[in-house]
Amino acid sequence: MQCIINRRAQFSASHRYWLPELSETENLEKFGACAKFPGHGHNYVLFVSMIGELDEYGMVLNLSDVKHVIKKEVTSHLDYSFLNDAWSEFEETLPTSENIARVIWQKLAPHLPLVKVQLFEHPELWAEYMGNGMEAYLSVSTHFSAAHRLAHPKLSDEENAKIYGKCARTHGHGHNYHLEVTVKGEIDPRTGMLVDLGALNQIIEDYVVEPFDHMFLNKDVPFFAEVVPTAENIALYISNALRSPIQNIGGILHKIKLIESPNNSCEILCSDSDMNSTKAAAQPVLATM
């Protein structure tokens, strides 16, 4: 029987987004504050996922050995370093989160049976790499506060109360929604970026946060006048809204995760086969977990 195990590590390091072939003005336009001299730092958190058969001692790998490998090959080189100079790989490609994750995989793959490398630059930005060439995943998180009422417009109050319980009460209720957007794409061999992070954040702000924040979704978002704003339907609506704008900046929307409360969340996996129509959002394919 195969099992996936995970090991956590961390390192503190600085980096700067700067391409010498560009002028100072061009670098600032392209990378914003990340281009400022002499750079900026993060407390990086690394998760290494490995797969294997259980041995006679009930382990896939001895985690003490795994810890030693990660320290020798990765954290001893990166901790308290200036990442641009830490590894030769960053001489040609900038040390973005997605690119750091890719290079960490290359360092660890000869020693560990890797499944995934996940690197958190901070709690609202992380990258995942799974050994597939220059393909990687970049996730950003944000939040909005909104109210909603769960009531199907074609049903009576009594019928809605039977289906949705307290959530069907006339004046609705609210949540602090936590949203995670995951984008898939190829890492640019020069910038190290999967997509322009500033552009991605602006898309999420324009298409989700601004229209939804401090709104009563049933009344303030026309779509939900006829569609029940469950977490599933909201997530599906967001996935349909973000798909095309993200494609326009060179990425592929991979996943939407919407956390309605600490107890309830849902995920929409966004592939080419997903339905994009308004009808699709009225018929969610994933249930709240």
* Single-letter residue type at 215: M
pTM, rounded to two decimals: 0.91
Q: Does residue 96 sit in the same domain as residue 55?
A: yes
**What pLDDT does residue 271 have?**
67
Q: Does residue 80 sit in the same domain as residue 221?
A: no
Q: Does residue 116 sit in the same domain as residue 170?
A: no
| Listed residues 118, 133, 148: the one ending a domain | 133
Q: Does residue 29 sit in the same domain as residue 80?
A: yes
Q: Does residue 164 sit in the same domain as residue 284?
A: yes
Q: Does residue 179 sit in the same domain as residue 37?
A: no
Q: Does residue 110 sit in the same domain as residue 124?
A: yes
| Listed residues 109, 133, 157: the one ending a domain | 133
**What pLDDT does residue 289 have?**
31
Q: Which domain holds residue 235?
A: 135-289
Q: Does residue 21 sit in the same domain as residue 108?
A: yes
Residues 101 and 118 sit within 8 Å (Cβ to Cβ): yes
**Shortest CA distance to 255 belongs to which of 243, 244, 245, 269?**
269
Distance CA 150, CA 148 (A): 7
Look at the chain and report how many structural domains it folds into.
Answer: 2
Residue pLDDT tens, the chain, 289 long? 799 999 999 999 999 999 999 999 999 999 999 999 999 999 999 999 999 999 999 999 999 999 999 999 999 999 999 999 999 999 999 999 999 999 999 999 999 999 999 999 999 999 999 999 999 999 999 999 999 999 999 999 999 999 999 999 999 999 999 999 999 999 999 999 999 999 999 999 999 999 999 999 999 999 999 999 999 999 999 999 999 999 999 999 999 999 999 999 999 999 654 444 333 333 333 333 3
Report the length, in residues, of the chain: 289
Q: Does residue 114 sit in the same domain as residue 162?
A: no
Distance CA 254, CA 123 (A): 19
**Pair type for strands 81-82 and 2-15:** parallel
| Listed residues 133, 163, 198: the one ending a domain | 133
Q: Does residue 174 sit in the same domain as residue 38?
A: no
CA distances to 34, 47, 95 from 40, rounded to whole Å, are 7, 22, 12
**What pLDDT does residue 1 have?**
79
- Residues catalogued as catalytic: 167, 214, 260
Q: The domain that contains 78 carries what CATH number?
A: 3.30.479.10
DSSP structure string for 86-111 = HSGGGGTS---HHHHHHHHHHHHTTT
Q: Does residue 72 sit in the same domain as residue 139?
A: no
Q: Does residue 42 sit in the same domain as residue 140?
A: no
